[in-house]
Structure 1
Amino acid sequence: MPVRQRKNPGSQSALRLSNQQRILSNLVSSGPTTQADIARSTGLSTATVSNIVKVLVDRGLVTTSPTTSSGRRAQLVSLSSTDNAVAVGIDFGRRHVRIIIATLDYRVIAEKEIEIPLGYTAAEALDIAANLLTSTLGQAGVQRTAVLGIGVGVPGPIDRRTGSVVKGAILPEWVGFTVGMAEEIFELPVYLENDANLGVLAEATWGPHGGTPTVVFVKVGTGIGAGLILDGKPYSGNIGLTGEIGHTPIHEHGLLCRCGNRGCLETVASTTIMIELISRTLDRPVRTREIVRMALDGDDLAIRVVEDAGLAVGRSIAAIANLVNPHTIIIGGPLTDLGEMLLRPVRLGLKKYAVPMIVETTDVVMSSLGERAEALGGASLVLQQSGITSTVS
């Protein structure tokens, strides 16, 4: 389950907005409902519910109609349309913030990405994302009160006991980050999740692998992490620290890793090490997208770096495959445009280290969602937490 902690509202406006979200979420999960039932479900007073419903009616978010309940006259409250309640997904990366807004029927109605400077603090990233959210909602013509919640993906492990990002995050600036910090900035319900876990959720919801019972999603980026779906359900382990395959040892006497061990997968296969190797050879800085372009253009250096990374990723994935026997392994992250150029060495690594029968019966594919996966997964998370079943085929 994603981390979700409610904060104490810091102002009357924040309290009103929070109560509006509670009522909208109740309507999303329960369908048309009487005001009295909303009061019972949310714990709000009938007077508060009545006042908020009037505001929502004036804003066109809900409609009311007369009905009877237990033989008495009552007001039935319904959402005006699937466009009048939305979910937001926000993905934070090493250099970017990406936002996606989706309706109740899983249609993306707005999407935007901006670049942010290296070394940003979590607080700075949240401020940037809050401004981006405001402008994106405005451009989409969506009122803030229509937002059911925000699914936030961060590049690091999350301890569900404390609801915070813990040591091991690829961006140390996020260590100590909590749901409460995000809710203070956004003044909206926030669901916090590791980015790879959101990636696998997006693949199961928006990608062609919906209904696949056992899926492993591997994000190869600045860090390397895996999201798991086991028996049709996202799996997050004991305290939420699953899928940390970036810290699987590959070379016993390899480079020191930020986790304190030597020769971890991230020290040989992450985009960070790829950038370092090629930049040092070319004697100039390069970016991930340039490495992808170089490899696709046939550059021998870039191709060799990609092949070495793919073989190492395949070796680490083999351990997961031998353990959980997945139906599908999906490779995601900023290298997806490489396609078979990356998948071939990944499959070779898997073939060398996994049980032959598992290799023969496991599909290894590239993500169809590319770098959008984590933000899409954030929106999916909000919709699922609100009781909305995916209609994406």
Structure 2
Amino acid sequence: MTSPHSSAALRDRNRKLVFDALRSFGPASETSQADVARHTSLAPATVSSNVRELEAAGLITVAAGAGRRGAVLRINPGAGLVGGIDFGHSHVRVSLADLGGTITASTTSPIADDHDSDDGLRLASTLLEDLRAHADPGLTLHAMGVGLPAPIGADGVIDSGSILPGWVGVHAREAVQQRFGVPTIVDNDANLGALAEYAVGAGREYSSVAFIKVSSGIGAGIVLDGQIFRGGIATAGELGHLTMHEDGPLCRCGSRGCLESYAGGASLVRQYRTIAPDLTVSAFVERATNGDVGARRLIEDAGRHLGRAAASLAQILGPEAIVVGGDLAEAGDLLLDGVREGLRRHALESIATNTAVVQAGLADRSAAIGAVLMALEAVDV
């Protein structure tokens, strides 16, 4: 094994730093070696040698700059592909992207919420191959990123089956990597949503973001100073199971009075079913935005419960912004005004005043985009 402190490991690290820096500047930027040196704090000579290696490997292109500007560096869009998979409560979305992070193709298929992990991966593999069949056959698949709506322990094993019972006991990364045969990173879907909103969505103006996903259930992803915060046991962000009232309604996790029981989409729909049975969360939100009094009241109440939980999150971690996404966020200010009110009532004034509450900018694509961004982190250069 290569020592992490060896010269070879240092060269690999520096090459990855240069490649990731170019990717972060975006495909349209005219990035120079000096720009990369400033961004990475690497010596100009180190940047130059790594640029030569990356160009020789076909991973980047180097072109003459205009005027006195030096050579322009860009990720080579023909250098290969990465894949992203977002497993939702009842869907799977698969995306292909080039190494610059531009998504070139995407498709979605329904899936049973109690599907077996092997069946889910088989479907995702079929969808991926369908996408690749319409891409350049010479492009190599370099890595995969996968999002799952379940807590993933520090050992990589899924031990909670309240949403994905068919994945309990599965080492998620190993299962995906075995299926696709490329380097893989698997993470909770809320973490991937947070990463996407921080990088290219509503949180891109902030250094620290808490992303609250409110769909059938509730989860949170946290980005602090540009890094996903997972905690020591890798399960940070299980906001949906914060106890609001000890004698409250029974939650699917087995506890009582969880936030999810009061503000999760599935819970709200259950309460509304006396008016309209068999309604999806999205259809319920549509009724609210069209003026249905009962649906609006439920969402307003949910916003206030979320605000109380968000206040705890803000006071402990101090994010600059709370980004609210998921199906319920499509209600816009009908939900967000309650979150803002909850912050004002339950957080210190200085925290409530300085914490922005914004709607997610990527809608239902946040986890899928985050999966692609995570796949790019796994690319071996």
- For normalisation by structure 2, the TM-score amounts to 0.78
Cα deviation, residue 208, structure 1: 4.3
Q: Larger deviation: 328-337 or 356-365?
A: 328-337
- Across the aligned residues of Structure 1 and Structure 2, the Cα RMSD in angstroms comes to 2.4
Q: Which of the residues 1, 4, 16 maps onto 1:29?
A: 16
> Does residue 1:381 correspond to 2:374, yes or no?
yes
- Indicate how the Cα distance of structure 1 residues 232 and 192 shifts in structure 2: closer, same or farther if over 3 A, else same: same
Distance in 1 between residues matched to 2:15 and 2:136, nearest whole Å: 20
Contact 1:85 1:147 in 2 (8 A): yes
Contact 1:31 1:78 in 2 (8 A): no
The one-letter amino acid paired with 2:376 is L
Q: Which SS does the other structure have where 1:216 is aligned?
A: strand
1:354-375 Cα deviation digits (max 9, x unpaired): 1111010110000000110001
Distance in 2 between residues matched to 1:368 and 1:244, nearest whole Å: 22
> Does residue 1:84 correspond to 2:71, yes or no?
no
- Indicate how the Cα distance of structure 1 residues 31 and 255 shifts in structure 2: closer, same or farther if over 3 A, else same: closer
Cα deviation, residue 185, structure 1: 2.1
Cα deviation, residue 140, structure 1: 3.2
- Indicate how the Cα distance of structure 1 residues 77 and 231 shifts in structure 2: closer, same or farther if over 3 A, else same: closer
Cα deviation, residue 118, structure 1: 3.4
The one-letter amino acid paired with 1:204 is Y
Q: Which of the residues 319, 332, 339 maps onto 1:326?
A: 319
Instruction: Name the residue aligned to 2:201.
Output: 207
Contact 1:170 1:222 in 2 (8 A): no
Q: Which SS does the other structure have where 1:202 is aligned?
A: helix
1:20-66 Cα deviation digits (max 9, x unpaired): xxxxx99983889xxxxxxxxxxxxxxxxxxxxxxxxxxxxxxxxxx
- Indicate how the Cα distance of structure 1 residues 221 and 28 shifts in structure 2: closer, same or farther if over 3 A, else same: farther
Contact 2:145 2:375 in 1 (8 A): yes
Q: Which of the residues 135, 138, 141 maps onto 2:133?
A: 138
Q: Which of the residues 89, 108, 112 maps onto 1:94?
A: 89
Contact 2:222 2:237 in 1 (8 A): yes
Distance in 2 between residues matched to 1:249 and 1:124, nearest whole Å: 34
Contact 2:161 2:167 in 1 (8 A): no
Instruction: Name the residue aligned to 1:372.
Output: 365
Q: Which SS does the other structure have where 1:350 is aligned?
A: helix
1:1-393 pair list within 5 angstroms: 29=16, 76-79=56-59, 81-141=76-136, 143=138, 146-160=140-154, 162-167=155-160, 169-178=162-171, 179-210=173-204, 212-282=206-276, 284-386=277-379
Q: Which SS does the other structure have where 2:82 is aligned?
A: strand
Instruction: Name the residue aligned to 1:42.
Output: none
Cα deviation, residue 341, structure 1: 1.3
The one-letter amino acid paired with 1:94 is H
- Indicate how the Cα distance of structure 1 residues 203 and 31 shifts in structure 2: closer, same or farther if over 3 A, else same: closer
Contact 1:252 1:262 in 2 (8 A): yes
The one-letter amino acid paired with 2:126 is N
Distance in 2 between residues matched to 1:260 and 1:85, nearest whole Å: 45
Distance in 2 between residues matched to 1:86 and 1:28, nearest whole Å: 19
Q: Which SS does the other structure have where 1:280 is aligned?
A: coil
Cα deviation, residue 169, structure 1: 4.7
Instruction: Name the residue aligned to 1:40.
Output: none
Contact 1:211 1:232 in 2 (8 A): no
Q: Which SS does the other structure have where 1:226 is aligned?
A: strand
Distance in 2 between residues matched to 1:146 and 1:226, nearest whole Å: 33
Cα deviation, residue 184, structure 1: 2.4
Where does the alignment leave 5 or more consecutive residues of structure 1 unmatched? 1-24, 33-68, 70-74, 389-393
Q: Larger deviation: 335-344 or 215-224?
A: 335-344
Distance in 2 between residues matched to 1:220 and 1:353, nearest whole Å: 20
* Structure 1 segments (4+ residues) deviating >3 Å: 25-32, 140-143, 385-388
Q: Larger deviation: 111-120 or 195-204?
A: 111-120
Distance in 1 between residues matched to 2:202 and 2:112, nearest whole Å: 34
The one-letter amino acid paired with 2:187 is E
Cα deviation, residue 78, structure 1: 2.3
1:268-287 Cα deviation digits (max 9, x unpaired): 111111221122332x2101
Distance in 2 between residues matched to 1:248 and 1:269, nearest whole Å: 11
Q: Which SS does the other structure have where 1:165 is aligned?
A: coil
Q: Which SS does the other structure have where 2:134 is aligned?
A: helix
Cα deviation, residue 76, structure 1: 4.3
Distance in 2 between residues matched to 1:201 and 1:157, nearest whole Å: 16
Distance in 2 between residues matched to 1:114 and 1:326, nearest whole Å: 35
Distance in 1 between residues matched to 2:361 and 2:317, nearest whole Å: 23
Q: Between the two proteins, what is the percent identity of the paired residues? A: 35
Q: Which SS does the other structure have where 1:78 is aligned?
A: coil
- Indicate how the Cα distance of structure 1 residues 77 and 140 shifts in structure 2: closer, same or farther if over 3 A, else same: closer
